Amino acid sequence: MDAFTTPLLAGTATGALLLIAALGLTLTFGQMGVINMAHGEFLMIGAYTAFVTQQVVTNADVSILLALPLAFVVAGMFGLLLEVAVISWMYRRPLDTLLVTVGVSLVLQQLAKDIFGAQGDPVVGPSWLAGNIGVFGYNWPYRQMFTIVLALAALGGLAALLKYTPFGRQIRATVQNRDLAETMGVSTRVVDRITFFVGSGLAGVGGVAVSLIGGTNPNLGRGYIISAFLVVVAGGLGQLKGTVIAAFAVGIATAYFADWTSASMAQVATFALVVLFLQLRPQGLFTIRTRGLV
């Protein structure tokens, strides 16, 4: 039973981290068509926000709760700055955005090394996340359970934003037909900027969860960016339900492969599995249906 439950529960927590990272990409890549290779660095920014917050508010029980909204705002502001300074000049040029954001990611990594050092710093978890609960012989850490709850909360908040708010309707209108949305009075430039802010902010929230498990590191984002892109593409561009299914599927599959082989081989096997799936279903699990599709 341990051989089945341990990878399943650990992989679910990994999938939750991928889901938080992929939610931001679902907006910036899946809905706006921007390939932002610096998205992983927004996870790093969120992790360092948690570390800095803990230096100011030394009570870990309080500092982590403060770090979550702060990480959303700080990472969101970095994303907004990136959109205004760079991305806004490159819409409809996805390969250019890919190249330039690779450079931005390297700059942010070096900036983190210059400010915090290359070794990274630990983040102390709150007392209410200490310990674990036994599930079919596996001691499931509360930190992993917290990550899942945080991912589901982020998913619920984003889904409510897109479905029930005027801004969410403006996002959907801009995605479906930007020119028509503008004729209806929607400021698509404002929509783009706020969308980038929200997508980057979600990555910052994910960075707080990552910091509780592995601390901070200037290269933290590298371990999640490729997997997050795979999740968005496999789930279907701009499709939240597909992103959820793909995130947990990738996380659980990676955990099982790692249990059978090694961590590095597990990444390769999962990548190959997703590529094979995309050969069979290039549009991903779900796709946007319009009258133009047959």
CA within 13 Å, CB half, 146 = 22
| Mean pLDDT score of the chain | 85
pLDDT band at 2; cut points 50, 70, 90: low
- The identity of residue 124, as a single letter, is V
Q: State the pLDDT confidence band at 48, using cuts at 50, 70 and 90.
A: very high
Q: What does the pLDDT look like over 256-285, one tens digit per residue? A: 888 888 877 888 888 888 889 888 888 888
pLDDT tens digits, residue range 119-158? 888 898 888 888 888 877 778 888 888 999 999 999 999 8
Mean pLDDT value across residues 182-206: 87
Give the mean model confidence (pLDDT) for residues 49-78.
93
Residue 281 corresponds to which amino acid?
Answer: R
Instruction: Write down the domain spans for the chain.
Output: 2-221
- Give percent of the chain above pLDDT 70: 96
In Å, what is the CA distance from 287 to each residue of 45, 71, 100, 233, 241? 32, 31, 28, 10, 10
How confident is residue 242, by pLDDT bands cut at 50, 70 and 90? confident
**What is the tens place of the pLDDT at every residue in 161-189?**
888 888 888 887 877 777 788 888 888 78
Q: Residue 293's pLDDT band (boundaries 50, 70, 90)?
A: very low
Nearest to 228 by CA among 209, 212, 250: 250
